[in-house]
Structure 1
Amino acid sequence: MQYDPIKRSLGKVFNQTPALRIFFYRLLDLLLLRAWYIRRELRRVARQNQKEMQVLDAGSGFGQYVYYMSSLGKQWTIKGVDVKEEQIADCNQFFEKIKRHNRVVFEYADLTKFVNTEAYDLILSVDVMEHILEDELVFANFYQSMKKDATLIISTPSDMGGSDTHHHHEDEGVHGFIDEHVRDGYNAEDIRKKLTKAGFRNIRTSYTYGKAGNISWRLSMKFPIKALNTTKLFFIALPFYYLVTYPIAFVLNWIDISTRHSKGTGLMVVAQK
């Protein structure tokens, strides 16, 4: 299943005015459980660092987390990098319209080649590493690009069904809800070893999307996206669908983020240089 065309369609709908786009960001922040976890980690960083900070969003996509960080840290200078040229141009235009372009910029970058030596106090990477085969090279580049004591935050699917993959016959490979992934997800021990090899310390891994979060994800993301893949007419029904399901998803998200999980389909990783 292709996830990107749906994101693009929604993006076009909400990109007509800056106010609509900000509304869309806020909807995503409420809807996506991963955003709850990421915002919590970013608030921790903000509490510990009241000073000016240089931040990299490695795989910035639609700019959701750059917007949140630019609101959270008024003294933060943020660079968003991505491989999708149209998203870079689009994000630069939006941040110019909302008058934040003096401290927010988006550029094209291939993370396997991108190094900006000792430049950043914080690197955020959300749902990116599962798309990159040469992950150890990227971790080494992150390390090189960070200042001493800087923080790295990674959110990625785990290998416990995070890509919602299911194996078919050998000649067909792996297929799942999200087809663009090069690996099913990360094992907590595996990513810890790779980050340690790159030089990181104080590595903290925690599973996200436990039982409650998984049900919430199916309700708030999987079912509606499957329906939109079937027919674009579901766009009309979408507000009514969420009116019924979102209160349930909200409670499930709250249960998930308030609980420690021994396993889950998502993984949050925080590390220091």
Structure 2
Amino acid sequence: MQYDPIKRSLGKVFNQTPLLRKLFYQLLDLLLLRAWHIRKELRKRSHSTPDVKSILDAGSGFGQYTYRMSRWFAEANIKAVDIKPEQIEDCNQFMQKSGLANRVKFELADLTQFQEPDRYDLILSVDVMEHIEEDVQVFRNFYASMRKGGMLLISTPSDQGGSDSHDHDHEEGVHGFIDEHVRDGYNIADIESKLKSVGFSKIEARYSYGNPGKISWKLSMKYPILMLGASKIFFIILPFYYLIVYPFALILNFFDLGMKHKSGTGLIVKAWK
């Protein structure tokens, strides 16, 4: 597995000061196409329902989406949960230094057991469900934890190669770029059926990472991380690589964000209670 160790190493580099942490978040927002799609949906939500009071970031990771939501939903209290204690402690320290600790809290939690009935107006789950075998139980917990009219927003790989496990055709002893996923991805009918089974009545799902996004992801994320995994010397070369490559990736991201894709390696799913 090459993706997550490199991601953790980069996180440590940028975690030394709040300013570097915010710079790290900016870089993630620029480089990760899924962040473009999530920002688009969150902006829609903030404009259509500005009185969101309580938010759950379910699987908060580095906390970049929690931080963004704390700015877009300035009146909301936010709880962010994850299963990694070091990230919980780290993110709470950052929020304390950023003056947001009064309304943003990070807690250790297992989503298969986490349930807080009728509490949240918005639940965000970014690249989490592909890691959890008991996904229907998590969807059930989300539904129970939401207020009437609340929205669930999910970003997850599709079954069109979103986990990049198809690169090696599952050869014995050969791992894909991302190996921690319990499923290759969802198709739209599958995830809609599971969400309906726990009570969600209105569901919208669309593909992301269509042809432009797939090319952009390889240029801006996959190839650089493969290089860093091969040798640390690429930390020196990487800025020059991005000077050449990123303008092309930027254009591809704009196309991916604005197009309606018949298929793609990612899914953006919205469900309402």
What range describes the TM-score normalised by the shorter chain of this pair?
over 0.9
Asked if residue 183 in structure 1 is aligned to residue 183 in structure 2, the reply is yes
Q: CA deviation at 1:168?
A: 3.0
- Which of 164, 170, 189 is equivalent to 1:168? 170
- What is the one-letter code of the residue matched to 1:107? E
Counterpart for residue 225 of structure 1 = 225
1:127–1:155 contact (8 Å) kept in structure 2:
yes
- What is the one-letter code of the residue matched to 1:58? A
Deviations 1:87-107 (A, max 9, x none): 000000000000000010000
Give the 3-state SS of the residue equivalent to 1:43 in structure 2. helix
- What is the one-letter code of the residue matched to 1:105? K
1:56–1:122 contact (8 Å) kept in structure 2:
yes
Once the two structures are superposed, the pairs formed by residues 97-116 of structure 1 within 5 Å of their partners are 97-116=97-116
- What is the one-letter code of the residue matched to 2:218? R
Unaligned runs of at least 5 residues, structure 2: none
Distance 1:232 1:188 in 2: 39
Q: Percent identity?
A: 63
1:165–1:174 contact (8 Å) kept in structure 2:
no
Give the 3-state SS of the residue equivalent to 2:175 in structure 1. strand
Asked if residue 31 in structure 1 is aligned to residue 31 in structure 2, the reply is yes
2:80–2:107 contact (8 Å) kept in structure 1:
yes
Distance 2:170 2:158 in 1: 20
Give the 3-state SS of the residue equivalent to 2:57 in structure 1. strand
Q: CA deviation at 1:212?
A: 0.4
- What is the one-letter code of the residue matched to 1:204? E
Counterpart for residue 204 of structure 1 = 204
Counterpart for residue 239 of structure 2 = 239
TM-score, normalized by length of structure 1? Answer: 0.97
Asked if residue 142 in structure 1 is aligned to residue 153 in structure 2, the reply is no
Asked if residue 58 in structure 1 is aligned to residue 63 in structure 2, the reply is no
CA RMSD of aligned residues (A): 1.1
- What is the one-letter code of the residue matched to 1:175? H
Deviations 1:122-168 (A, max 9, x none): 00000000000000000000000000010000000000000011333
Number of aligned residues: 271
Counterpart for residue 117 of structure 2 = 117
Once the two structures are superposed, the pairs formed by residues 4-43 of structure 1 within 5 Å of their partners are 4-43=4-43
